[in-house]
Amino acid sequence: MPLAPVGMVWPYYAALTVLLPLVLMGALNAVPYIAMEGLVEKLSDGPKNVRSLWRALTGILLLAIWGVFIVSRVLAFIDWRLVSVYSLGCVLQIKTRYRTKKLLIMVANHITRFTESRVVSRRALIDLHQELTTYVRSKL
């Protein structure tokens, strides 16, 4: 069944408005992730499980280095209250990433597929599911 808001749409947009900045705050921690992916491309030469092993090994090391760097910079130059806000933001980002991804899909589906009405009916979702199922089966 495709993800789409059922019933009134505004609560989904409101939730996305609250959660999206938390997930975007995760971009502050993109440095170790980008470095990890670069190292995985350089070091791995085998199948997917070897890539996963390198991703885990390099990710843990880079996360530890990044953590020490952030903590040292924060303790040297920034107030402890900002440290607690940053830490809380990181935890909330991890906790809300999955829900935000699903909300983004729902809102995108609503904008692209269900623009004719403000309320998505169950019948419209079933029709969309049938259409997608028919399309996928025709491609097999």
Full residue range of the structural domain in which residue 60 is found: 10-104
Q: What is the dihedral of CA 43, 47, 48, 50, to 10 degrees?
A: -50
Q: Is residue 125 part of a domain?
A: no
Residue 28 has what pLDDT?
74
Is the entire prediction scored with pTM above 0.75? no
**Residues 6 or more apart whose Cβ sits within 8 Å of residue 93:** 22, 23, 25, 26
Average pLDDT per run of 10 along the chain, which is 140 residues long?
71 87 78 80 75 81 84 77 79 84 84 64 76 87
Residue 38 within any structural domain of the chain: yes
Structural domains counted in the chain? 1
C-beta separation of 102 from 12 below 8 A: no
**Does a structural domain hold residue 55?**
yes
115 falls within a domain? no
pLDDT of residue 25: 77
Q: How far is CA 90 from CA 25, 52, 95, 119, in A?
A: 7, 24, 9, 34
What is the pLDDT at residue 105? 85
Question: Is position 132 within any domain?
Answer: no
Sign (positive or negative) of CA dihedral 126, 130, 135, 140: positive
Q: For position 1, what pLDDT does the model report?
A: 55
Q: Is residue 30 part of a domain?
A: yes
Look at residue 138 and tell me if it is in a domain.
no
Q: Would you say residue 92 lies in a domain?
A: yes
